[in-house]
Amino acid sequence: MRPRKDRSGFTLIELLVVIAIIAVLIGLLLPAVQKVREAAARSKCQNNLKQLALAAHNYASANNTLPPGYLGSYPNLSEALPNTSVAANGNYVVTAAPTPRYQFVGVEALLLPYIEQAALYSQLQSAAGGDYFGPKTVAPFWFDNPALVALAEAKISSLLCPSDDAYASNRAWLAMHTQSTFPNLNAISTAGTGTNIGRTNYVGFAGYLGNIPGNTTQRYKGAFLNRSAVSLTELSAADGTSNTYLFGEALGDNPFRIGSSGNRTGSLSWMGGAIEVLVWGIPDPPEWYHFGSLHGGGIVLFSMADGSVRGIRKGWGQDTSNPSYWEAIYEGGFSDGQVTVPSQIGG
């Protein structure tokens, strides 16, 4: 009898079939993995926004009012500020910056002690000196102080949305000021290796067009404005805390716009990113003056004054012939007497 040869391994055809099956399985699993990953990112982002709302409540408990949206012009809160050249500071080069006679520190910097960043806030106070972060203190632009700039490079994970990479940009917005029809954001660009300005994906809600004295839109102002001091009692007595937006997601620019450096062209800094207004709804993709996110499912997240988190549908309020356009314009003011039903804007 002839000895039997034991078969070892696969034939080429069998191997190709196995590879094809594995490829199909990976193709089926990948969307599920991505969906789970995005769900986790969205959950983390929701918690970040909730913690910011709770931090604002804790600030109000200690100070009787919510924190200011930012420390801009004073006492004329809507003073028009020209773009003024400011000298290079370390590795950073200012390409367009506000006149340096005001701090332009944003709300998130003021909330640091209430989001487990008390040590960093203490260092900022020591570097600035005096009552630099006081709502009625007038002091130089934070970017003019190298010690503050160094501390402002801190990366704070709770201020970053996991669905975005805010550090993909080599430029960050330093300041924001509501002065005419919409905020005038002033940017810095970076030179050399100085790309570490601390970023954020969250901003305070300033209503429709902020606080412009004498303008009919003042009725739709939000809770966070230039040197504002709005109390939780005011919010409760007006539209109510469950109907008042406190913080929302923002990207600082169209995330798909790439500059000459090959990087995304802009993102927000937590030190001066400050506030945003609800102008022309929630476009997708957003521009620098819009709220926006990179969440799947077409949702931008916002935290309410009662601590809850709500999503607004991307694209809401874009059609001028649609009633939701006007809802987009009027929604957001904490005392405008108008409330948008959550199901109408995304849930």
Which of 3-17, 109-123, 140-154 shows the highest mean pLDDT?
109-123
Q: Which residue has the higher pLDDT, 338 or 74?
A: 74
Q: Which residue has the higher pLDDT, 255 or 8?
A: 255
The answer to whether residues 197 and 252 touch, using CB atoms and an 8 Å cutoff, is: no
Q: Please give the average per-residue pLDDT across 50-73, as a whole number.
A: 94
Q: Which residues pair with 15 in a beta bridge?
A: none
| Predicted pLDDT at 276 | 77
| Predicted pLDDT at 176 | 78
Cα distances from 194 to residues 5, 92, 172, 264, 335, in angstroms, run 68, 6, 11, 16, 42
pLDDT, tens only, 218-236: 777 788 888 999 998 988 8
Decide if pLDDT at 215 tops 80. no
Q: Please give the average per-residue pLDDT across 138-146, as a whole number.
A: 87
pLDDT band at 247 (very low <50, low <70, confident <90, very high): very high
| Predicted pLDDT at 60 | 95
Cα distances from 323 to residues 32, 315, 319, 329, 330, in angstroms, run 37, 13, 8, 10, 11
Q: Please give the average per-residue pLDDT across 185-191, as a whole number.
A: 45
**Tokens describing residue 169:** 């940009």
**Tokens describing residue 117:** 């960043």
Q: Please give the average per-residue pLDDT across 46-61, as a whole number.
A: 96
For the chain, give every domain's residue range: 18-345
| Predicted pLDDT at 189 | 45
| Predicted pLDDT at 275 | 79
Distance in angstroms (rounded) separating the CA atoms of residues 94 and 101: 16
pTM of the model: 0.82
Q: What percent of the chain has pLDDT over 90?
A: 31
The answer to whether residues 84 and 99 touch, using CB atoms and an 8 Å cutoff, is: yes
pLDDT, tens only, 125-139: 999 999 999 999 999
Q: Please give the average per-residue pLDDT across 1-8, as a whole number.
A: 56
Q: Please give the average per-residue pLDDT across 9-37, as a whole number.
A: 74
Distance in angstroms (rounded) separating the CA atoms of residues 67 and 108: 9
**Tokens describing residue 120:** 């960093």
| Predicted pLDDT at 332 | 63
The residue among 246, 267, 257, 130 whose CA lies nearest residue 189 is 267
| Predicted pLDDT at 64 | 94
Q: Please give the average per-residue pLDDT across 13-22, as a whole number.
A: 81
| Predicted pLDDT at 72 | 86
pLDDT, tens only, 157-179: 999 999 999 988 877 888 777 76
| Predicted pLDDT at 6 | 56
Distance in angstroms (rounded) separating the CA atoms of residues 77 and 71: 10
283 phi/psi in degrees, rounded to 5 = -75, 160
The answer to whether residues 286 and 82 touch, using CB atoms and an 8 Å cutoff, is: no
pLDDT, tens only, 294-345: 998 888 999 988 999 988 888 877 666 665 555 555 556 766 666 666 666 6
Q: What is the mean pLDDT of the chain?
A: 79
**3-state secondary structure string across the chain:** CCCCCCCCCCCHHHHHHHHHHHHHHHHHHHHHHHHHHHHHHHHHHHHHHHHHHHHHHHHHHHHCCCCCCECCCCCCCCCCCCEECCCCECCEECCCEECCCCCCCEHHHHCHHHCCCHHHHHHHHHHHCCCCCCCCCCCCCHHHCHHHHHHCCCCCHHHCCCCCCHHHECEEEEEEEECCCCEEEEEEEECCCCCCCCEECEEEECECCCCCCCCHHHHHECCCCECCCCCHHHHHHCCCHHHCEEEEECCCCCCCCECCCCCECCEEECCCCCEECCCCCCCCCCCCCCCCCCCCCCEEEEEECCCCEEEEECCCCCCCCCHHHHHHHHCCCCCCCCCCCHHHHCC
